[in-house]
Amino acid sequence: MGGSKKQEIVKKKTLIKGLDNLLNGLPSNSEKREINKNFEEIIAFFNTLRNNFNNVPSLEDMQEVKKTIDNIGTILAQSETNPIIANALGIRLKSSIKIKPKITEDDINKAKNILKEIESLPIDKINSRLHDKNISINEIRAISLELGIKSSDRLGRDKLIHQISNKIANYRGYKKLSGLG
C-alpha cells in the first residue's frame, strides 16, 4: 500500500506542475491589451466590409435606375421635335429652315440699271452712290451677283460695296493694261 501514497504524491506534484505551467502560460496585462487591440482592428475591418457590402446597389435598385435612364432618354428624344421641351432642358434646336434673302427680278433689274449708271463714275463716286440708302441690300447683292462676285449671305453692306468697287476698279485696270481702255 505504500506504492499508492507514492502515486498520489506524484499525481499531486504532476497536477501542481501542470497548474503552474498553466498559470505561467497566461498572458500578461500588456499582452491582453495587445490581443484586444488586434481583435478591435479585426472587428472594425469586418464592420467596414459589412457597411461597404450594404452600400452595393441591389438588382432591384438598378432596375429603378435603368427605368429613370430610359425616361430621360425618352424626354431627350422628344426634345428633338418639341421646342418647348428642348427649351426647358436648355437645348437649342437647329433651325431646319434657313431664311435666305430673296433677290427678286425687280432687284436684278434695278441692279442692272445701277451698274449702267455707275460704270463710268470714279471709284469714290461709285462707293458713295452704292452707300445711298435708296439702294437696298438685296439690290447690292444683285449687283455683286451680276459682277460674278461670290459672297456669303452674312456679308454686310459695307463689305459687299467694297468688293463691288474693287471688282470694277480691277476690271478697269485690266482693260487699260490690255490696251482696250
pLDDT digits (tens, 9 = 90+) for 109-131: 998 999 898 888 888 888 888 88
Pick from 51-55, 76-80, 97-101: least confident: 97-101
As a whole number of angstroms, the distance between CA 179 and CA 58 comes to 90
Q: What is the pLDDT of residue 91?
A: 82
- pLDDT of 167 higher than 60: yes
Residue 73, C-alpha cell as written in the block = 432618354
Alpha-carbon distance of 15 to 52, in angstroms, equals: 51
Residue 111 and residue 174 in one domain = yes
**Residues 40, 65 within the same domain:** no
pTM attached to this predicted model: 0.45
Q: Are residues 153 and 130 in the same domain?
A: yes
In angstroms, the CA 18 to CA 10 distance is: 12
**132 and 74 share a domain?**
no
Q: Tally the domains of the chain.
A: 3
Q: Are residues 84 and 135 in the same domain?
A: no
What's residue 29's pLDDT? 92
Q: What is the mean pLDDT of the chain?
A: 86
Report angle CA 26, 29, 34 to the nearest 5 degrees.
Answer: 100
Give the range of the structural domain holding residue 67, as residue numbers without chain letter.
59-88
Report angle CA 78, 84, 89 to the nearest 5 degrees: 75
Residue 99 lies in a domain: no
Establish if 134 belongs to a structural domain.
yes
Give residue 34's pLDDT.
94
Q: Kindly state whether residues 43 and 63 are assigned to the same domain.
A: no
pLDDT at 45 over 90: yes
Residue 2 has pLDDT above 60, yes or no: no
Please report whether residue 84 resides in a domain: yes
Higher pLDDT, 37 or 12: 37
In a domain, 22, yes or no: yes
Regarding whether 160 and 110 lie in a shared domain, the answer is yes
168 and 117 in one domain? Answer: yes
Q: Do 50 and 63 belong to one domain? A: no
Task: Mention every residue, 6+ apart, whose C-beta is less than 8 A from residue 159.
Answer: 151
Segment 81-98, tens digit of pLDDT: 888 888 888 888 776 565
Q: Is residue 25 part of a domain?
A: yes
Does residue 96 lie within any of the structural domains? no
Residue 22 and residue 38 in one domain:
yes
pLDDT of residue 101: 63
Q: Are 155 and 167 in contact (CB under 8 A)?
A: no
Q: Are residue 28 and residue 75 in the same domain, yes or no? A: no
Distance CA 170, CA 57 (A): 75
* pLDDT > 70? residue 80: yes
Residue 93 lies in a domain: no
Question: For residue 151, is pLDDT > 80?
Answer: no
Q: Is residue 95 part of a domain?
A: no
27: phi then psi, degrees, rounded to nearest 5: -75, 155
**pLDDT value at 1 more than 60:** no
